[in-house]
Amino acid sequence: MGAAEDEARSARSVERTETFSDAVLAIIITLLVLDLKPPQIRPGHLLRGLLEEWPAYLAYATSFLNLAAIWLAHRYVFERIRATSPPLNWANLAILFSSALVPFPTAVVARFLKAGNQGDIQTAIALYALVGALMLISAWIFYQYAVRHPELIHAGGGKYLRQERTKALIGTALFLGGGLLGYVSPWIAFALFLAVPLYTGITTPR
C-alpha cells in the first residue's frame, strides 16, 4: 500500500507541475499578440499602414513558433516523467523564466526592424538570440538532470530525453549563430531562428 501511495503522490506532483507549466506558457504566448497594434495612419492609408507593420508580424510568428516548439517538447517530455524532485522543479522553472522573457526581445526586434537603424537592428537581433539561447540552455539543463536521475523517468524514456537534450544544444547553436550572423544580415538571423522550431518539428518522433 505504501508503494502505491508513493506512486500516486508522484503522479499528482508531475501533473501539478505540468499543469502549472502549461498555464504559464499559455500566458506567455498570449502576451506576444499584445505587440500587434493597429497602425497610426491618415484616413485612406490603412492597407499601407498594415503592410508597414511587417516587422511585428515577423517577430510575432517567429516567437510563437519557438514557444510552441518549447510547449510541445515540454508536453512530450512530461509523458516520460514519472516523478519530480526539487532540482527538477527548479530546472523546469528556469525554462518558464527564460520563456517569459521572449515577449520583450520580440517587441524590441519588431520596433527596431521598422526603425531601420542598422546598429539598433543588430543589437535587437543579438538580444533576441541571447534570450532564445537561454531558453534552450534551460531546457538542456532540465533534460540533463532527468537523464542523470533515471528514477524520475518511466522505463524507456531515457532515450527520448537524450534526443531532446541533443536537440536543445543544436537549437542553442542556431540561436547564437543567428545572433552573430545578424551583424551580416537580419534575414539570415531570422532564417536560423525559424529553423529551430522547424528542426524540432521534423525530428520529433511521431
Provide the residue type at 78 as one letter.
F
Task: Give the global pTM.
Answer: 0.91
The DSSP line for 49-115 is HHHHTHHHHHHHHHHHHHHHHHHHHHHHHHTSB----HHHHHHHHHHHHHHHTTHHHHHHHHHHHHH
Q: Work out the average pLDDT over 156-167.
A: 92
CA dihedral (51, 55, 56, 62) positive or negative? positive
Q: Note whether 189 and 182 are within 8 A (CB).
A: yes
Residue pLDDT, tens place only, 129-142: 999 999 999 999 99
Distance CA(194)–CA(206), nearest Å, equals 21
Residue pLDDT, tens place only, 168-201: 999 999 999 999 999 999 999 999 999 999 998 8
